[in-house]
């Protein structure tokens, strides 16, 4: 195993890097964690939207007469009486993010199946739903376009949009002695967190309190203030717990405005929980994508050309661009590269980020192509990747802050037993005689920090409290905050309270991009240090204090106690110092500036490698992913326990992407026809392989003081192409269109061939 020259070892800590149970685990396992739809307010009523049953056309009439006389019904709102809902203005920087810009019920146009066309409000959810279903809407339908053919179809722009490029990729490809040229497609995938999107809106005295299912409460507040036409100070957004989001809950969707408007109009709290089928319609999805990849190489495997041309579908009303070219320019060394992209409009809801947006589908294509190139070269696919390792990020010439992809590949190969691989197709069998296929893929995901503010309080009761307007979407952010405060103060985790998910708190980052941990590290460390400084000054300055006459500079906080530096025998519990000084709490505030959108000296990325074994039983057409070995280089793991959980979950999601997930739109109506958890296939326990995750754990001190880069999304990148490569190794069938179906494999050769 080779040693990386830029490897750094982490400084020891009692809490950083220690596998720690989530501090909120007892709340979750006892059912006492309060999720958005758990909020019950006095006088609360329920809203249920009416959704369009065409995907293109015009509303001719809405007849709510029957619905309005049904039991418990309070109101029916349409475009005529919902009241003003505004569009968000264009903004500079990373704020006011919204994917579907059209406010609900803006006019009579229908752009996608499931678009809200009215909303019923009643005393109970059942009454509201019954009323919504009794509202009769007539339409002038037009023929929708939900075609999945994308490359070569009309785009939103006159031509393909140029992306990253260097050298002369077309010429290099034309001259390459070895060429691979193929199209890879992936279908629309729908986020299916168990928690449905929901809003509990409480309007009173000109102000809105919105309990939301949000991965970004601060942005949600700003968007909703714009949509509702009130100052941001009149909107408070709360998300204490989230039943996962995967990107689907990053930005506000129209149901939030509907609930807020209903509460405003009725002057009562309103709960709106969308149904599972609405989850497939109006809250985003990963778009369908077609990508052409051309690889040119020397006969020794050295890449000479990479071309990636891709088109993703978007809605009729918004431009959502999936950045499939994100990882392509930096994963391998190649002098000639060209990426182009385009958007094709379809009568579907507006797409959005889904876990690892861009890189995940982009690497499905690039890494599949690399595997195909390795076969063509008769070269080991691990070797092909090692051979094309770049020295710097060739897209911008910057050094990588910390890159250990080669070690991911070599460590993974060792753990997997890759040296035992027999290259001939269908030649490997397990003890039961089933055919085995082995595949590999590399992955990458950008690393960055955004801006953050936090406050830390040390209280006379001996507890600490840290607050930030970010949120824990299930990944373990509450625990990370407690660990950071513990790291600086020595206080045990059970003496640290963490408050997140509320716009009343200091503004924090979105929970997206796998950047929350790295983002909050500088602000929490600094805020804690500021609080400790205040405490030490208090200890030294109180005339009747324990340390009267000392200098703050000669004092320290250690294990939760204040003491003269290096003299634990003289220590005093910090709460007693506050108590004797008659001070309730000392405070530390801090604000950190991120790297996001700013020029940086280094190229910050995480890397990884997946090794996959599939088991194929052609006689019963049974395909299973049996084993995955994953090695991740994502900086230092602050809490390896939920980090491992993130990667394991991502690998399961990768099994879904590779073999199951596929949102299908009916070409006649434009309806997503498998809009439920019976027909939209997701991996269940029986589909899950044995998973072995290794973190290289090299700290990236260029990004933050603790060397964390963040983890979560990277685990999904590369899984699907590794599975497709393994399927080819077992069957000789190359599937370039996800998901891989049994039907694709029925023509598989039954005997081994070279
Ligand atoms: Mo992630 S797709 O940035 O929530």
CA dihedral for 150, 153, 157, 160, sign (positive or negative): positive
Distance (Å, whole) CA 444 – CA 723: 17
Ligand 1: which of 513, 516, 646, 715 to mutate, judged by most atoms within 8 Å of the beta carbon?
A: 513
Ligand 1 mean position, distance from CA 512 (Å): 4
* Residue-number span of the structural domain to which 432 is assigned: 372-446+600-745
Q: How many CB atoms lie within 10 A of CB 189?
A: 27
Look at residues 477, 475, 497 and name the one whose alpha carbon lies nearest to residue 649.
Answer: 475
109 in active site:
no
Look at residues 605, 423, 399 and name the one whose alpha carbon lies nearest to residue 514.
Answer: 605
- 692-708 pLDDT, tens digit per residue, is 999 999 999 999 999 99
Dihedral pair phi/psi, residue 720, rounded to 5°: -60, -45
Q: Is residue 172 part of a domain?
A: no
Structure tokens at 269: 């709290």
Number of domains in the chain: 2
Statement: residue 549 has pLDDT above 90: no
Q: How many CB atoms lie within 10 A of CB 345?
A: 18
Instruction: Tell which of 568, 592, 616 closes a domain.
Output: 592
- 235-292 pLDDT, tens digit per residue, is 999 999 999 999 999 999 999 999 999 999 999 999 999 999 999 999 999 999 999 9
- 442-491 pLDDT, tens digit per residue, is 999 999 999 999 999 999 999 999 999 999 999 999 999 999 999 999 99
Q: State the pLDDT at residue 67.
A: 98
Q: Is the CB of 650 under 6 A from ligand 1?
A: no
Same domain, 701 and 605: yes
Q: State the pLDDT at residue 754.
A: 40
Q: What is the pTM of this model?
A: 0.96
Q: Which domain CATH number covers 542?
A: 3.30.365.10
Q: How confident is the model at residue 752 (pLDDT cuts 50, 70, 90)?
A: very low
Ligand 1 atom nearest to CA at 355: 2
- 497-506 pLDDT, tens digit per residue, is 999 999 999 9
Ligand 1 atom nearest to CA at 246: 4
Statement: residue 542 has pLDDT above 90: no
Ligand 1: which of 471, 512, 596, 646 to mutate, judged by most atoms within 8 Å of the beta carbon?
A: 512
Distance (Å, whole) CA 651 – CA 126: 38
Nearest residue (by CA) to ligand 1, atom 4, is 247
Q: Is residue 623 part of a domain?
A: yes
Q: Is the CB of 247 under 6 A from ligand 1?
A: yes
Q: Is the CB of 353 under 6 A from ligand 1?
A: yes
Same domain, 453 and 428: no
Looking up tokens 């370039």, which residue turns up? 736
- 141-183 pLDDT, tens digit per residue, is 999 999 999 999 999 999 999 999 999 999 999 999 999 999 9
- 40-76 pLDDT, tens digit per residue, is 999 999 999 999 999 999 999 999 999 999 999 999 9
Statement: residue 516 has pLDDT above 70: yes
Ligand 1 mean position, distance from CA 513 (Å): 5
Same domain, 400 and 442: yes
- 69-106 pLDDT, tens digit per residue, is 999 999 999 999 999 999 999 887 778 999 999 999 99
SS3 692: strand
Same domain, 471 and 441: no
Q: State the pLDDT at residue 749.
A: 57
Same domain, 385 and 414: yes
Q: Is the CB of 505 under 6 A from ligand 1?
A: no
Statement: residue 513 has pLDDT above 60: yes
Same domain, 620 and 633: yes
Q: Is residue 129 part of a domain?
A: no
Residues listed for the chain: 754
Q: State the pLDDT at residue 8.
A: 56
Per-residue burial over 274-299, b if 16 or more Cβ lie within 10 Å, else e, is bbeebbbbbbbbbbbbbbbbbbbbee
Q: Is the CB of 355 under 6 A from ligand 1?
A: yes
Half-sphere exposure of 743 (CA within 13 A, CB side): 4
Q: Is residue 44 part of a domain?
A: no
Distance (Å, whole) CA 602 – CA 534: 35
4 or 347: whose pLDDT is higher? 347
Same domain, 606 and 711: yes
Q: State the pLDDT at residue 91.
A: 81
79 and 53 in contact (C-beta within 8 Å)?
Answer: no
Round the CA-based radius of gyration of the chain to a whole number and report it.
28
Instruction: Tell which of 526, 557, 592 closes a domain.
Output: 592
Q: State the pLDDT at residue 95.
A: 84
Distance (Å, whole) CA 448 – CA 507: 18
Ligand 1: which of 193, 355, 515 to mutate, judged by most atoms within 8 Å of the beta carbon?
A: 355
Distance (Å, whole) CA 250 – CA 713: 14
Ligand 1 atom nearest to CA at 512: 3
Same domain, 466 and 556: yes
Q: What share of the chain is helix, strand, coil (3-state, %, to 5)?
A: 25, 25, 45
Distances (CA, A) of 592 to 57, 364, 487, 554: 48, 35, 18, 27
Same domain, 513 and 612: no
Q: Is the CB of 716 under 6 A from ligand 1?
A: no
Q: State the pLDDT at residue 753.
A: 47
Q: State the pLDDT at residue 554.
A: 95
Strand partners, 181: 294
Q: Is residue 661 part of a domain?
A: yes
Q: Is residue 730 part of a domain?
A: yes
Q: How far is Cα of residue 18 from the mean position of the Cα atoms in its chain?
A: 24
Statement: residue 6 has pLDDT above 60: no
Q: How far is Cα of residue 36 from the mean position of the Cα atoms in its chain?
A: 19
Same domain, 727 and 663: yes
Q: Is the CB of 362 under 6 A from ligand 1?
A: no
Q: State the pLDDT at residue 314.
A: 98
Q: State the pLDDT at residue 244.
A: 95
Ligand 1 atom nearest to CA at 513: 3
Dihedral pair phi/psi, residue 456, rounded to 5°: -120, 130
Ligand 1 mean position, distance from CA 631 (Å): 21
Same domain, 398 and 511: no
Instruction: Tell which of 592, 625, 659 closes a domain.
Output: 592
- 327-353 pLDDT, tens digit per residue, is 999 999 999 999 999 999 999 999 999
CA dihedral for 252, 254, 260, 264, sign (positive or negative): positive
Mean per-residue pLDDT, 555-575: 95
Ligand 1 mean position, distance from CA 321 (Å): 14
CA angle 89, 95, 96 (to 5 degrees): 35
Q: Is residue 214 part of a domain?
A: no
Structure tokens at 389: 């390792």
Q: Is the CB of 512 under 6 A from ligand 1?
A: yes
Ligand 1 mean position, distance from CA 250 (Å): 7
Distance (Å, whole) CA 571 – CA 331: 52
- Nearby residues of 162 by Cβ (< 8 Å), 6 or more positions away: 338, 339, 340
Mean per-residue pLDDT, 14-29: 96
Q: How many CB atoms lie within 10 A of CB 447?
A: 29
Same domain, 550 and 607: no
Mean pLDDT over all residues of the chain?
96
Q: Is residue 258 part of a domain?
A: no
Structure tokens at 693: 């995750």
97 and 250 in contact (C-beta within 8 Å)?
Answer: yes
Q: How confident is the model at residue 2 (pLDDT cuts 50, 70, 90)?
A: very low
Q: Is the CB of 361 under 6 A from ligand 1?
A: no
Ligand 1 mean position, distance from CA 298 (Å): 37
């Amino acid at each position: 195993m080779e040693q990386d020259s830029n490897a750094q070892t982490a400084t020891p800590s009692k809490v950083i890097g220690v596998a720690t149970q989530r501090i909120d685990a007892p709340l979750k396992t006892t059912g006492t964690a309060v999720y958005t739809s758990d909020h019950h307010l006095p006088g609360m009523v329920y809203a249920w939207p009416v959704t369009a049953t065409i995907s293109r056309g015009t509303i001719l009439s809405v007849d709510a007469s029957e619905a309005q006389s049904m039991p418990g019904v309070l109101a029916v709102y349409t475009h005529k009486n919902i009241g003003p809902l505004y569009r968000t203005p264009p903004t500079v920087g990373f704020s006011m993010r919204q994917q579907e810009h059209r406010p609900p019920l803006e006019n009579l146009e229908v752009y996608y199946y499931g678009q809200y066309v009215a909303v019923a409000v009643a005393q109970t959810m059942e009454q509201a739903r019954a009323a919504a279903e009794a509202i009769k809407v007539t339409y002038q339908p037009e023929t929708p376009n939900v075609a999945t053919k994308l490359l070569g179809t009309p785009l939103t722009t006159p031509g393909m949009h140029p992306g990253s490029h260097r050298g002369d990729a077309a010429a290099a490809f034309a001259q390459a002695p070895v060429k691979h040229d193929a199209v890879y497609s992936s279908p629309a995938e729908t986020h299916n967190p168990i928690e449905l999107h929901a809003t509990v809106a409480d309007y009173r005295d000109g102000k809105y309190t919105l309990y939301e299912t949000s991965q970004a409460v601060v942005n949600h507040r700003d968007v909703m203030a714009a949509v509702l036409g009130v100052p941001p100070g009149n909107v408070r957004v709360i998300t204490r717990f989230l039943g996962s989001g995967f990107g689907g809950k990053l930005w506000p969707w129209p149901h939030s405005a509907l609930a807020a408007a209903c509460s405003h109009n009725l002057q009562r709290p309103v709960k709106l929980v969308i149904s599972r089928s609405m989850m497939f319609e109006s809250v985003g999805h990963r778009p369908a994508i077609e990508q052409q990849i051309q690889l040119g190489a020397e006969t020794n495997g050295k890449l000479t050309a990479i071309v990636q041309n891709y088109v993703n579908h978007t809605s009729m009303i918004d431009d959502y661009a999936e950045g499939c070219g994100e990882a392509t320019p930096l994963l391998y060394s190649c002098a000639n590269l060209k990426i182009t992209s385009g958007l094709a409009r379809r009568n579907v809801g507006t797409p959005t980020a889904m876990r690892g947006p861009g890189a995940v589908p982009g690497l499905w294509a690039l890494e599949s192509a690399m595997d195909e190139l390795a076969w063509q070269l008769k070269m080991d696919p691990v070797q092909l990747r090692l051979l094309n390792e770049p020295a710097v990020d060739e897209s911008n010439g910057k050094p990588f802050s910390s890159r250990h992809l080669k070690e991911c590949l070599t460590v993974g190969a060792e753990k997997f037993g890759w040296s035992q691989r027999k290259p001939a197709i269908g030649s490997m069998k397990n003890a039961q005689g089933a055919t085995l296929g082995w595949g590999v893929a590399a992955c990458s995901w950008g690393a960055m920090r955004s801006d953050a503010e936090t406050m830390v309080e040390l209280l006379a009761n001996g507890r600490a409290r840290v607050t930030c307007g970010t949120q824990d979407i299930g990944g373990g952010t509450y625990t990370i905050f407690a660990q950071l405060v513990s790291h600086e103060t020595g206080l045990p985790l059970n003496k640290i309270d963490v408050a997140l998910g509320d716009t009343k708190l200091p503004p924090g980052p979105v929970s997206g991009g796998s950047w929350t941990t790295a983002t909050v590290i500088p602000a929490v460390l600094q805020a804690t240090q500021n609080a400790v400084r205040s405490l030490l000054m208090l200890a030294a300055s109180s005339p009747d204090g324990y340390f009267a006459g000392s200098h703050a500079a000669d004092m320290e906080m250690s294990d939760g106690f204040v003491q003269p530096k290096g003299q634990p025998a003289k220590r005093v519990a910090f709460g007693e110092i506050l108590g004797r000084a008659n001070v309730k709490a000392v405070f530390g505030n801090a604000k950190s500036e991120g790297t996001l959108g700013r020029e940086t000296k280094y190229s910050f990325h995480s890397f990884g490698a997946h090794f996959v074994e599939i088991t194929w039983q052609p006689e019963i057409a049974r395909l299973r992913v049996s084993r995955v070995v994953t090695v991740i280089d994502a900086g230092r793991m602050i809490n390896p326990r939920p980090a491992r959980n993130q990667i394991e979950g991502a690998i399961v999601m990768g099994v879904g992407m590779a073999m199951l997930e596929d949102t299908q739109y009916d070409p006649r109506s434009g309806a997503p026809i498998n809009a439920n958890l019976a027909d939209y296939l997701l991996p269940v326990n029986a589909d899950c392989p044995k998973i072995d995750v290794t973190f290289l754990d090299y700290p990236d001190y260029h990004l933050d003081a603790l060397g964390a880069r963040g983890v979560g999304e990277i685990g999904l990148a590369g899984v699907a192409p590794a599975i497709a490569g393994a399927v080819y190794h077992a069957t000789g069938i190359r599937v370039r269109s996800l998901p891989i179906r049994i039907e694709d494999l029925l023509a598989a050769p039954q005997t081994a061939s070279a």
